[in-house]
Structure 1
């Protein structure tokens, strides 16, 4: 079922200037007909190893809808935010500059790949957010693009925030643009001259990073074999090599290191 987008006053936020500098990529059609995104399919393609929530972002006017109920208790809110500005106000002030630069980096990378592939690309990075306990904890942000307007510009995305503070408090300050829906893109970008990232002891191959990401999603070797159309034996060999290279013995340890290395 389609529903007409309800117009709301535009509220200025730190990402406004970043987005407005790319009018060829992002929609400004406030009255476009919006189709609710396929949330169940999106959840299947997201990385979540802790409590999470999502919301749908109307890129044209930064309004929010379709909030996951856990958003309220995780941030100690009494009502769902209506504008992206309210979400950004929950981010640690010291991380805002990084978030702005991360958005610039993702837009420029997608432009390099090609706007026509935008709906099959997912962007992710980490930052600290205020919680219902009154402190700031590390969150993993993912943006999955779900709808373009009639001019081919991005009109809608689903943003997913996962609390990863129980896994790591380190922010690698890396930005990822990866393929979904059949694409195998993997682009890892480093913010500034940050020295805080802990580099992997050895370099993982592109295929190993792809399998690592699928392992982090909770997929078994058999499921990954089916998804990638590669033999089960090949997947188990890659998995063994990943654990050996990263010096890990269990998946939870692998996910922790992968987050701190900015690989997922």
Structure 2
């Protein structure tokens, strides 16, 4: 493990004292919603500690998802995990974490940070030696006195193998009054043209809700907009992305790790 990586990570998360948020159950509910659309045995949970770079807890299905030893994961902490990340993606992954932290500290009010969930992706080497694309959702559970996340609930989804690597993407979503996620930050770290780069944050939220099987009226209710506005967005999304229909749009969105 490159010591510079550890040093850079520590600078992003230099924190210690904590206070508790009260939106954890809402975030867990949204993760359960996501789980319905993931293949069986493709997801596991961890409790992460950014100050000690450790895993306070790793769910038992970690081994069935990755083939790796759960005891090594717990004993060696994040170093064990980082050593299995694809070398080509380490610096971009750190850049995405830094951007998410900078955005949070400068743009998200202290009292709203407990409503935010973060998503990013990378490749990880599993037990058979292959690199598998992985999507990580992390929800802060405790914060330091400056409002930096310290303890997080991390939900990992091992994605199907694809012919080429997905670009690194970073997203921050905030729960609204209906406990529905709305995108507040998105950035891709690649020159590859993706659906997410062609649409607005609102359209991104609509795609996610369409993918979860919500009707036009249900989407309108969740996002506090009219059904006509939802339909207008849906037409614009198909036009922007050159997708022939909603099924093609949803398939591409899942394949690109956008959901």
TM over 0.5: yes
1:147-226 to 2 correspondences below 5 Å: 147-149=142-144, 152-166=147-161, 169-182=164-177, 184-191=182-189, 194-195=190-191, 197-200=192-195, 203-226=198-221
CA distance in 2, matches of 1:151, 1:108: 13
Q: 1:166 to 1:225 in 2, by over 3 A?
A: farther
TM-score by length of 1: 0.74
Q: 1:108 aligns to what?
A: 102
On the 8 A contact 1:168/1:260 being kept in 2, the answer is no
User: How many angstroms apart in 1 are the aligned matches of 2:145 and 2:44?
Assistant: 29
Structure 1 residue 27 corresponds to structure 2 residue 15: yes
> Could you tell me how far apart the structure 1 residues matched to 2:246 and 2:162 are?
12
SS in 2 for 1:145: strand
Secondary structure, aligned partner of 1:96: helix
CA–CA distance in 1 between the matches of 2:212 and 2:126?
A: 24
Write 1 or 2 for the structure with the bigger share of helix: 2
1:22 shift after superposition: 4.7
Residue by residue over 1:7-43, the C-alpha shift from the partner in whole angstroms, topping out at 9 and shown as x without a partner, is xxxx9976542343256xx5324xx698995374352
For the aligned residue pairs, the C-alpha RMSD in angstroms reads: 3.6
For residues 113 and 150 of structure 1, what CA distance do their matches in structure 2 show? 17
Of 8, 15, 19, the match for 1:18: 8
CA contact (8 A) 1:175 1:262 kept: no
The answer to whether residue 248 in structure 2 is matched with residue 248 in structure 1 is no
- Matched residues in 2 for 1:35 and 1:205: separation? 29
- Normalising to structure 2: TM-score of the pair? 0.76
2:193 aligned counterpart, secondary structure: coil
* Distance (whole Å) between structure 1 residues aligned to residue 246 and residue 2 of structure 2: 42
Q: Which residues of structure 1 form unaligned runs of 5+?
A: 1-10
1:43 equivalent in structure 2: 31
Distance 1:254 1:148 in 2: 37
